[in-house]
Each structure stands twice: as C-alpha cells, then as structure tokens.
Amino acid sequence: MRKIALVLGLAVLLAFAAEKAPAKDKRLYVSTFRTSFHHIGMKISLSGLFNKSPESDTTWQFYGRPNNYVYGFDIFLPSQGEIMALATHTGVHQSRDGGKTWKETSDWKMTEVHSVQFDRTNSDIVYAGTPYGFYKSVDGGHNWQQKNNGLHGPDATYIPSFVVSHVDPDHIFAATEDVVYESKDAGESWRKAGLEIPHIRVIEQNPQDAEMLVVGTEDNGLYFSLSSGKHWEKREDGVVHSTFYTVTFDPTNPEVIYAGGFSTGIYKSVDGGQKWQNYINGLDNLDISTIAVDPIDSQKVYAGSLNGGVFGSEDGGETWSWLGIDNGQISEIKVVDYDGEDNE
C-alpha cells in the first residue's frame, strides 16, 4: 500500500470516462482513512475516495464510500470497463460504473482490509492484505479465501502492505509485523524473505528493476534489497527519522526514490537510495502516509498526510503547496492516466 500507483488506461476507456469528467485524460485519486479524532458513531465526513484533475480542477469530487475507513484502493482498466476496488475497514468494496454505485464484495470474514490489488493482467484475480492475513479472490472479488499457509501467529498475519512482482505475477512480497514474507505461488504459501526486521509498514518494488525491493519500517528506517529479497541492507545516509509508511519510485527514473513517514516530511534520493535529502518547505503536516509521482511529468509529485490533507509539488518534491481535503487522513494517492496504453 501507499505505493505509487501508475495506472495507464486503455484508449477505449476514454469514452466511458468522459461521461463522468469531460477531461479525464489524467486524474488524481485520493483515498482518506478518516478525519481527525473519529470514534464510532461520529459522522465520518471525509472518508472515502476523491478525485480531481491535477491540472484543471480546483475542487475534489467525492466517489464514495461514506462512513468507512478507506485504507487504500486500486483501479483496473481493462477494455471491458473500469473497476475500482477500495480496501476498507468493512472489507473490499467495488464499483464497476466509475464510482456511481458500489458493492461490498467481501463478507464478515474480511475486515480492516489495508490494501487491495488486482492482478495487472486479469481482473478476476484480486489480492488483499489485512491484519488477519492475506486474502485472494479468483472471481473478481466476489468470493475470497484466506491464504495464510506459512504465516504463523498474529504478527505474521498482520499485513499492512504487499507488492505483486511486475515481472512475475505469482511472486508476491508481504510486509508484516513479523518480517518480510514472500510467496512464489500467487499467495498459496509463504516463507520468510530474508529480512529479520519486525514492524514492516510498506514494501515496494522498483518498476524498472524487479530485483530492487524497498521496505519502510516502524522505528527501523529503510531497508533495500537488490536481489529480490534474498539480501537486505539498511540505507540511511541523510536519514534522521526511523518510521516510514510509504516508499515511491519515479516511474521514469529508477534512481529517484521518495519516502515518508512519521514526522519525516519528504525524503528523496536521486541515487537509488544511497543518499537522502529531506524536504519540508510548504508541508503543514510532516506525517506522510503516501506519495505518488505523475507518470507523465515526474516533476509533479503528490503527498498525502496523516491529518493535513493532500500536498503537491511541481519541482520534484523540493517545495510543496496544499491541494485540499482539510484534516483528511490520507491513506493512498494514485495518478491515473486514462490516456495510457495498458493497465501497468
């Protein structure tokens, strides 16, 4: 979760997209976990999925679902039509009509879903990470099965983030409260992936180098693997913080990496994580939960905070300005390019 979402849509979708937004060539989607200081029974006015054009819109359009904690989302853009999936505290919700209507497609057995992701080539296959383990659907999210084979105990089944390899869709890495786990059979079984560090909060794969994995941890900084999880090293030159909730790659330059977390502001590396520079200029809230890079213009970067809404940068993350969603706890940001060629 909290990864860059680089979703390039099929041209056929433009007609569909135009029905909702006339200029839907590129949209900035943001999910909110909740507003500040919420407890059950209160109105959750800012929870759900929002979107706007990053260039032309001044206001955000609410896409649903209200009264829910939305931890993250994914959007699949096959030729048949757009499918949105939300990871929420009441399970997985899906919309197949551009957010007009939604259905809770999981049942009571799935709760507090932290991350959801479609197989990039087959929307029938959907994965979800939860505090109770890993789940998989092979019918587009209508039925789910828990896949915890090899994940033993509450710490191992606490999965805030996972990544499906973009070169091998059966190879999945999961961040857990225990260590990093990997599955080579599409979630059917799991084993430890070589990093014996607990409290993993996020895991990402370099979109241009499948061997490079990065994890952000609670209290233990950033770790890198250049061997697809076999060996790991801590990279902390220039890093003065220890808790990271998000790691994001520039899709146009494999050496450029962004990271954020508790009180961190934005960290940026331009040499593959060897050295880091910290940027806070214009950030009213330094607790960063998610970062996304525009797939077309990588100088445009977006950051979600954990109480201060969304911030945007037009100079590669060096300076920031507020883009809205007052007090929103932002869980995930994606820049969706509907003008793209495929779903990846």
Partner 1 sequence: MNKRNIISAVLIGFSLVSVSRAQLLSRVEYLKKFDERANALLASYDTLKSANYTVTAARYGTRNGVEIADSLVMELLKRPRGAMFWMVPVITNYIVGKDVMSPECKAAIRNAWKTYAPSRGDTENHWAMYYSALFLAAEQWPDLPGSEWYNGKSSEENRKEAKEYLFDWAKLTTTKGQGEFDSPDYIIEYLHASTILAGFAQDKDLKLLGEMLSEYFLADFAVEHLNQQYGGGHSRIYENKLMEMERSVCSGVAALYFLSGEPRRTGWMVVAILTGYKMPEIIYQIANDREKSYVHRERKRVRHNIRFGKEKNPAVYKYTYMTKDYVIGSLMGGLLQPIQQHTWSVRYNFGKPHSIIFGLHPYWSCYEIGMFFPTFNKLCMDDIVSSKKSYNKHDKWTGGSPNERTFQHKNTLIALYDVPLGTTSNHIDAFFPANLQERIIDKSGWIFCKAGDTYVAWYPLQPGEWNAEYKIAKPAFAAVTGSRVNDGAMPLRNYRFRSWELQNGYVVEVRSKDEIGSFKKFTQKLRSHIPLAVLEEGNVSVAYKNLDADKMEFSFPDGRQLNGEVVDLTQTPLFAGPFLNADVDSQLLEMQYPGKKRILDFKKLEIREE
Binding site for partner 1 (CB under 8 A): 36-44, 65-68, 89-90, 93, 101-105, 107-108, 111-112, 114, 131-132, 153-155, 158, 160, 177, 218, 243, 245, 262-263, 287, 289, 306
Is the CB of 84 or the CB of 212 nearer to partner 1?
Answer: 84
Which residue in 232, 285, 233 sits closest to 261, CA to CA?
285
DSSP state at residue 237: B
By residue count, the chain amounts to 344
Nearest distance from C-beta of residue 261 to partner 1, angstroms: 9
Which residue in 332, 49, 313 sits closest to 202, CA to CA?
332
Nearest distance from C-beta of residue 167 to partner 1, angstroms: 31
Is the CB of 65 or the CB of 268 nearer to partner 1?
Answer: 65
Which residue in 240, 241, 238, 257 sits closest to 249, CA to CA?
257
Nearest distance from C-beta of residue 240 to partner 1, angstroms: 15
SS3 268: strand
Is the CB of 23 or the CB of 42 nearer to partner 1?
Answer: 42
Is the CB of 159 or the CB of 301 nearer to partner 1?
Answer: 159
Is the CB of 74 or the CB of 294 nearer to partner 1?
Answer: 74
Which residue in 41, 22, 32 sits closest to 87, CA to CA?
32
Instruction: Name the token pair of 184.
Output: 């080579």
Residues 6+ apart with CB under 8 A from 245: 2, 201, 202, 216, 260, 261, 262, 288, 289, 290
Nearest distance from C-beta of residue 153 to partner 1, angstroms: 6
Is the CB of 262 or the CB of 322 nearer to partner 1?
Answer: 262
Q: Report strand pairing: 103-104 vs 253-261.
A: unpaired
Nearest distance from C-beta of residue 227 to partner 1, angstroms: 28
Nearest distance from C-beta of residue 53 to partner 1, angstroms: 27
Nearest distance from C-beta of residue 270 to partner 1, angstroms: 28
Which residue in 248, 173, 165, 169 sits closest to 209, CA to CA?
165
Nearest distance from C-beta of residue 43 to partner 1, angstroms: 5
Instruction: Name the token pair of 45.
Output: 């006015």
Query: How far is CA 150 from its chain centroid?
Result: 24
Is the CB of 58 or the CB of 108 nearer to partner 1?
Answer: 108
Using CA atoms, how far residue 76 sits from 80, 100, 338, in Å, is 10, 16, 11
Instruction: Name the token pair of 10.
Output: 């099929």
Is the CB of 177 or the CB of 250 nearer to partner 1?
Answer: 177
